[in-house]
Copies of this chain bind each other. A is one copy, B any other.
Amino acid sequence: MAEEAAVRAQAETVRRLKQDKADPDEIAKEVAKLLEMKAQLGGDEGKHKFVLKTPKGTRDYSPKQMAIRERVFNAIITCFKRHGAEVIDTPVFELKETLTGKYGEDSKLIYDLKDQGGELLSLRYDLTVPFARYLAMNKITNIKRYHIAKVYRRDNPAMTRGRYREFYQCDFDIAGQFDPMIPDAECLKIVHEILSDLQLGDFLIKVNDRRILDGMFAVCGVPDSKFRTICSSVDKLDKMPWEEVRSEMVGEKGLSPEAADHIGEYVQLHGGLDLIERLLQDPKLSQNKLAKEGLGDMKLLFEYLTLFGITGKISFDLSLARGLDYYTGVIFEAVLLQQENDHVEDPVSVGSVAGGGRYDGLVGMFDPKGRKVPCVGVSIGIERIFSILEQRVEASEEKIRTTETQVLVASAQKKLLEERLKLISELWDAGIKAEVLYKKNPKLLNQLQYCEDTGIPLVAIVGEQELKDGVIKLRVVATREEVNVRRESLVEEIRMRTTQP
């Protein structure tokens, strides 16, 4: 039958893609096609016709990936705590209306839940809007908090580049009415600390201010009503050349060519304090109230960053716009400049790994009386960082332990299961991390092999003679050294031999 041949051909396609470790999305597509063909053929019993996969744009984390993930989280949480942050958590979904009108054009990417009777719900799109909702709901006007959780966007992800539909955000925000630019400077310091700690290679933090952008648009002749949409176009400059952005402005968005060209001159500019000083003297910008305010604060920010000693990696960049609607002041974005190619053959191409800014109006959108709580915050884009570190670990063949087990309780002879269980129970109760093979009579070789495979450093071997003598044989896996330890000293001995220096 021709259909059966087609199914076999399709099965071969799938097999080949899997062998070639092709893009998981592509594999999934072909598998789906295969299953559909099979279903039409009607030959299958139909019991297992479903696709065995995670939803599009999501992934499981294996123990090894979790070990890398925990390392990254530890570095980030340590930094957030170093800066005195508290931690909060919010539900994975919000009332749909809580998210409405906060994300501009991106709202179409929000996951809605099915209306099953009751409230209309959506999965959170970021951690910032739930944070603002939390502040307004609890009438909090003053907090420094971090929040690490998954967010959801129905994007078309490029998972090989560390982009997913379900991904972690690590957010640190400072809410409250304070003297200008001190919290803003701390956010940049935090980005600098985290990216330095993680040793991801060289990076640059681009900084701009929405007020400078808006002032710039005004003096270039952009009508007020077009500020946000032109801002969205500028935001694309990190992915598109100026010529394309310009034609979007003029063609799609109806901006005059003169205004576009004028913007084109400004957005080429980047630098440090010198550029800020120059723009403060700019005959047009200096006449614009918003731009002047923004430039004044930018100057102050750079003074604080100088005190923190981090201006070397900061660039005031007029082309930085950021996508989200809710920013009102300073905005920033950190990009990796290059991969450390020594260990990586096929470097992951990554863009921004952190971003953030000031959003002074968002909490007010939730407060029944519109009371404002000024906020500034940063979000670390953890998935891309994972991708880089994962690939680095793969390439380096570094062996990553996925458990912390200190000792395997083993036996050399048969019929000692009861003795093994008695001993391991003593060890657990003393707080020792211990495992035992779930077999009545395991071979010693298999027990030692298990230690080799999983990196367990010690083996406590129970034997007839040792039981009579009141001792346990302790073997060091790496050196094969064996010592008899009195049973009552065993816990102490294991602790001593497995404490990190």
Contact = CB atoms under 8 A, between A and B. Distances in A.
Interface of A: 47-48, 50-56, 58-63, 66, 69-70, 81-95, 97-98, 111-116, 118-119, 121, 123, 133-134, 136-138, 143, 145, 150, 152, 154, 166, 174, 176, 178-179, 182-183, 185, 189, 193, 304, 307-309, 366-368, 370, 402-405, 417-418, 421-422, 425, 428-429, 431-436, 438-440
A137 B137 CA distance: 43
A98 to B, nearest CB: 7
A116 B121 contact: no
A134 B60 contact: yes
Contacts of A50: 95, 97-98
A54 B439 contact: no
A99 to B, nearest CB: 11
A230 B133 CA distance: 46
B403 A307 contact: no
A494 B221 CA distance: 56
Given A52-B137, A55-B95, A86-B402, A433 B81 contact: yes
B438 A93 contact: no
Contacts of A417: 179, 182
A423 to B, nearest CB: 10
Contacts of A94: 54-55
A82 B403 contact: no
Nearest to A405: B84
Contact of A91 (B48, B59, B116): B59
Contact of A118 (B56, B58, B61, B152): B56
B433 A93 contact: no
B368 A307 contact: no
A154 B114 CA distance: 12
A428 B114 contact: no
A278 to B, nearest CB: 24
B368 A63 contact: no
A193 B66 contact: no
Given A56-B118, A92-B152, A304-B421, 19 more contacts: A48-B370, A50-B95, A52-B368, A55-B91, A55-B95, A55-B121, A60-B88, A62-B88, A66-B87, A66-B89, A87-B402, A111-B114, A178-B438, A179-B440, A182-B439, A193-B428, A307-B422, A307-B425, A309-B425
B308 A425 contact: yes
A84 B401 CA distance: 11
B438 A60 contact: no
Contacts of A52: 133, 136-137, 366, 368
A166 B149 CA distance: 14
Contacts of A98: 50
A387 to B, nearest CB: 16
A434 B189 CA distance: 13
B439 A179 contact: yes
A89 B112 contact: no
A257 B377 CA distance: 67
Contacts of A47: 370
A280 to B, nearest CB: 21
A396 B38 CA distance: 65
A435 B91 contact: no
A435 B84 contact: yes
Contacts of A434: 82-84
Instruction: Enumerate the 6 nearest inter-chain pairs by beta-carbon distance, A residue then B residue, closest first.
Output: A178-B438, A63-B86, A58-B91, A84-B435, A61-B89, A112-B114
Nearest to A402: B86
A478 to B, nearest CB: 18
Given A55-B91, A55-B93, A402-B86, A307 B418 contact: yes
Nearest to A303: B418
Contacts of A425: 189, 307-309
A176 B59 CA distance: 23
Contacts of A69: 89
Nearest to A70: B87
A218 B304 CA distance: 79
Contacts of A418: 307
Contact of A119 (B56, B59, B95): B56
B88 A178 contact: no
B179 A403 contact: no
A421 B53 CA distance: 51
Given A82-B433, A370-B48, A111 B113 contact: yes
